[in-house]
A and B are shown apart, each in its own frame.
Chain A
Amino acid sequence: MLKIENLHATVGDTEILKGLSLEINVGEVHAIMGPNGAGKSTLAYVLGGRDGYEVTSGSATFNGQDILDMDPHERAALGLFLGFQYPVEIPGVSNLQFLRESLNSQRKSRDEEPLSGGEFIKLAKEKAALLKMDMEMLKRAVNVGFSGGEKKRNEMVQMGILNPELAILDETDSGLDIDALRTVGSGINAIMRDEKKAVLLITHYQRLLDEVQPDYVHVLAKGRIVKTGGPELALQLEEQGYEAVAA
């Protein structure tokens, strides 16, 4: 599904990704762990197509298509979703309006009919219930006045509504209390555990991986994947730290 080969990327004059390779197949859940500054968020932004994150060499394909020359909204329409570490506030725009316009814009790109207001509300209610989010929250402006935990939960509701093929979730577990972590974890499983979908979790902690069990765990350090293993690798990292494991 996602195939990254020898990816180099710079931000400003600094090279952050230095030859990163990674392959994710449908039905798989991958976790990337690594110390601060290793390039985890940069990887997410590069895949999302953010301005200012420049790929200098290497390739990334999604279902065989080169995505690196695509605009962010084109990648989104292909089924690539980014869960943000710091979800952004958009004053004056309700979550429902934001998501309906986003979804219908994606559908238009895929030559699908737009969803009517009624169909959309039904979908939104279903996904909000899955994440135990009050519909009233969705009527409020995007992330404005939301707590850290509410913002993360809102990201997952968005993921549910947009129904991507690949979700890259950047520290979705940070800022969540124990109950919220469980809700978010089961939400990810419900939405993304599917033989046609895949997940890339970016995290620092084992606790999310207790909820969403990965098939593969990678250690990212200094801009490349330095070690890959099964779920046991995360436990080892938790016990011994990055330096011991990745050295």
Chain B
Amino acid sequence: MTDNIKTEIRDAKEIDERAEMNAEAQAAADKASAYEHGWSSDIEQEFAEKGLNEDTVRFISAKKEEPEWMLEWRLKAFRIWQEMESPDWAKLDIPMIDYQDAYYYAEPKKKPELDSLDDVDPEILRVYEKLGIPIAEQEVLAGVKGARKVAVDAVFDSVSVATTFREELEAAGVIFRSISEAIREYPDLVRKYLGKVVPVKDNYFAALNCAVFSDGTFVYVPEGVRCPMELSTYFRINAENTGQFERTLIVADKGAYVSYLEGCTAPQRDENQLHAAVVELVALDDAEIKYSTVQNWYPGDENGKGGIYNFVTKRGLCQGKNSKISWTQVETGSAITWKYPSCVLNGENSVGEFYSVALTNNYQQADTGTKMIHNGKGSRSTIISKGISAGKSDNTYRGLVRVGPAAENVRNFTQCDSLLLGDTCGAHTVPYIEVKNPTAQIEHEATTSKISDDQMFYAQQRGLDEEEAVSLIVNGFAKEVLKELPMEFAVEAQKLLAISLEGSVG
């Protein structure tokens, strides 16, 4: 190592801090709020038979009318998956999952027309209404004139129901399709990129997704095009014992720009449901992809019963020079979250960003973070992670910054802040830093704090009740990340943080 190295690692070892807040706040942890989206709608479902074998894979592929190459790809993935084992390195207590005791495909039986929202089953529209879809989208769904344009592709259980604004997008040359449609209509384009960022054998859950993914979204923004509107997808798990395995592939060609938002909810069920998604992003020269997620899958009840197991592989490839990929996530849901949206920075002067708020309450467990893999010269990355723990939950930031031997003048800045509510929750920070080029500048900062009695009393004396005060302070803590969200979604995210913390003090 030479003098050039400026490696500020203030906190490179695991910080494992149990909170030390007052006892009242802790007692409160038991009183969890009821899940707002906890209902299930009666739309007839068509299921694949329970269980997982090659026939299940064939069934799904046939249902999707997929070409032969796709089926072969799935079968190969299934065989690989069978040889793999579920990872156990995360700081998560994962119950045994019986993969044979679940459905892998469910679609609403009354299959709606795909090109007009008017034809969508009113029951489904009611579902979106209950969901509290962001105002912008509600307006779009209601056809309000002058509403800010957000194209929505809604994935209801496994089937993509409707894609709005398709024509306008097509005029701009943007392809925005369910992945099933894209496989049929743009097979060459899909085949060129599918599995190139997250290889089939990348990890256990990714391999499973490759075998059984049911639907998802495909976006292609051609060279030089700035996508004229935000693209958005809603995922919803509705049927009991159904896994949802969606697949997203977004390609921004040279000089293109696209902003994409993914929102997720699941109705309340006593069983645990599995969600194993794969998202792949590819940015070519001078292209930029901004990918935002607001995730509020059902987190389980206040005793830790039920809830979604969320095992997601998200990775972006900054393939071209000056390309940029930015991940922003607000994670408040799921019983277990295992998720590391990452950037592979191969392009010269490419940029990777990761902005994350992860909130856990009751018995939720989250092990989330990012990987920034620097292979390109002059590539830069920024990581801002805000973890909020309440109740009896465990919240871990796990992040890797790797600088390859050929990557000159790489820069990374990482900041991990944890906020604790009560003294029965945990916050953990696990950074991995691997630097193989001495010109790299890597900075890592980490803090752990709690909401102080002083802050609470100050805010309450000014007129806020206890929950308003907590919500205000937590939103202030998360502000650096929330401001990265598209504005209308930032407002939703703020509300979501407040809802998720209801009952966590008192």
Interface residues of A (CB under 8 A from B): 45, 48-52, 71-73, 75-77, 81-82, 84, 86-93, 97-99, 101-103, 105-106, 109, 141, 158, 162
Query: Taking the complex as formed, is B145 at the interface, i.e. its CB lies under 8 A from any CB of chain A?
Result: no
Q: Smallest CB–CB gap between B420 and chain A, Å?
A: 15
Q: Is the CB of A90 within 8 A of B460?
A: no
Interface residues of B (CB under 8 A from A): 22, 24, 452-466, 468, 472-473, 475-480
Q: Is the CB of A92 within 8 A of B24?
A: no
Chain A residue, CB-CB nearest to B473: A90
Distance A77 CA – B460 CA, assembled complex (angstroms) = 10
- Across-interface contacts of A92 in B (CB, < 8 A): 475-480
Q: Is the CB of A102 within 8 A of B24?
A: no
Q: Smallest CB–CB gap between B460 and chain A, Å?
A: 4
A84-B461, A88-B454 given. 5 additional CB < 8 A pairs?
A51-B453, A73-B460, A73-B464, A102-B464, A109-B463
Chain A residue, CB-CB nearest to B478: A92
Distance A50 CA – B472 CA, assembled complex (angstroms) = 19
Q: Is the CB of B463 within 8 A of A162?
A: yes
- Across-interface contacts of A86 in B (CB, < 8 A): 454
User: Contacting A76 at CB < 8 Å: which of B22, B461, B480?
Assistant: B461
- Across-interface contacts of A105 in B (CB, < 8 A): 463-465, 468
- Across-interface contacts of A72 in B (CB, < 8 A): 457, 460-461
Q: Is the CB of A90 within 8 A of B455?
A: yes
Chain A residue, CB-CB nearest to B471: A101
A93-B473 contact in complex given A50-B457, A51-B24, A102-B459, C-beta closer than 8 Å = yes
Distance A99 CA – B463 CA, assembled complex (angstroms) = 9
Chain B residue, CB-CB nearest to A143: B458
Q: Is the CB of B462 within 8 A of A98?
A: yes
- Across-interface contacts of A103 in B (CB, < 8 A): 463
11 sampled A-B residue pairs with Cβ under 8 A: A50-B461, A52-B453, A72-B457, A84-B458, A84-B461, A92-B476, A92-B478, A92-B479, A93-B473, A99-B462, A158-B462
Distance A101 CA – B462 CA, assembled complex (angstroms) = 9
Distance A105 CA – B455 CA, assembled complex (angstroms) = 17
Q: Is the CB of A71 within 8 A of B465?
A: yes
Q: Is the CB of B463 within 8 A of A82?
A: no
Distance A90 CA – B472 CA, assembled complex (angstroms) = 9
Chain B residue, CB-CB nearest to A48: B461
- Across-interface contacts of B24 in A (CB, < 8 A): 51
Q: Is the CB of A93 within 8 A of B475?
A: yes
Q: Is the CB of A71 within 8 A of B460?
A: yes
Distance A106 CA – B468 CA, assembled complex (angstroms) = 12
- Across-interface contacts of B475 in A (CB, < 8 A): 92-93
Q: Is the CB of B472 within 8 A of A98?
A: yes
Distance A75 CA – B461 CA, assembled complex (angstroms) = 8
Q: Is the CB of A88 within 8 A of B463?
A: no
Chain A residue, CB-CB nearest to B479: A92
Q: Is the CB of A73 within 8 A of B463?
A: yes
Q: Smallest CB–CB gap between B126 and chain A, Å?
A: 30
- Across-interface contacts of A88 in B (CB, < 8 A): 452, 454-455, 457-458
Distance A103 CA – B464 CA, assembled complex (angstroms) = 9
Q: Is the CB of A101 within 8 A of B472?
A: yes
A90-B479 contact in complex given A51-B24, A98-B472, A105-B465, C-beta closer than 8 Å = no
Q: Smallest CB–CB gap between B274 and chain A, Å?
A: 35
Distance A26 CA – B408 CA, assembled complex (angstroms) = 72
User: Contacting B463 at CB < 8 Å: which of A52, A90, A91, A102?
Assistant: A102
Q: Smallest CB–CB gap between B475 and chain A, Å?
A: 7
- Across-interface contacts of A102 in B (CB, < 8 A): 459, 462-464
Q: Is the CB of A73 within 8 A of B455?
A: no
- Across-interface contacts of B453 in A (CB, < 8 A): 51-52
Distance A49 CA – B461 CA, assembled complex (angstroms) = 8
Distance A50 CA – B453 CA, assembled complex (angstroms) = 9
- Across-interface contacts of B478 in A (CB, < 8 A): 92
Q: Is the CB of B457 within 8 A of A73?
A: no
Q: Smallest CB–CB gap between B458 and chain A, Å?
A: 4
Q: Smallest CB–CB gap between A117 and chain B, Å?
A: 14
- Across-interface contacts of A162 in B (CB, < 8 A): 462-463
Chain B residue, CB-CB nearest to A89: B455
- Across-interface contacts of B476 in A (CB, < 8 A): 90-93, 141
Distance A109 CA – B456 CA, assembled complex (angstroms) = 19
Distance A3 CA – B476 CA, assembled complex (angstroms) = 38
Distance A77 CA – B465 CA, assembled complex (angstroms) = 10
B24, B458, B463 pick with most chain A CB within 10 angstroms: B463
Distance A141 CA – B476 CA, assembled complex (angstroms) = 9
Q: Is the CB of A76 within 8 A of B458?
A: no
Q: Smallest CB–CB gap between A86 and chain B, Å?
A: 8
User: Contacting A48 at CB < 8 Å: which of B457, B472, B477?
Assistant: B457
Distance A89 CA – B477 CA, assembled complex (angstroms) = 12
- Across-interface contacts of A76 in B (CB, < 8 A): 460-463
Chain A residue, CB-CB nearest to B483: A92
Distance A75 CA – B464 CA, assembled complex (angstroms) = 11
- Across-interface contacts of B463 in A (CB, < 8 A): 73, 76-77, 102-103, 105-106, 109, 162
- Across-interface contacts of B457 in A (CB, < 8 A): 45, 48, 50-51, 72, 88
- Across-interface contacts of A91 in B (CB, < 8 A): 476-477
Q: Smallest CB–CB gap between B476 and chain A, Å?
A: 3
Distance A141 CA – B475 CA, assembled complex (angstroms) = 12
- Across-interface contacts of A81 in B (CB, < 8 A): 461
Q: Is the CB of B464 within 8 A of A101?
A: yes
Q: Smallest CB–CB gap between A24 and chain B, Å?
A: 18
Chain B residue, CB-CB nearest to A97: B472
Q: Smallest CB–CB gap between A137 and chain B, Å?
A: 17
Q: Smallest CB–CB gap between A187 and chain B, Å?
A: 17
Q: Is the CB of A73 within 8 A of B465?
A: yes
B24, B460, B462, B473 pick with most chain A CB within 10 angstroms: B462
Distance A102 CA – B462 CA, assembled complex (angstroms) = 6
Distance A107 CA – B456 CA, assembled complex (angstroms) = 20
Pick the 10 closest A-B CB pairs, nearest first: A92-B476, A93-B476, A92-B479, A102-B462, A106-B463, A72-B460, A88-B458, A102-B463, A76-B463, A105-B463
Q: Smallest CB–CB gap between B365 and chain A, Å?
A: 26
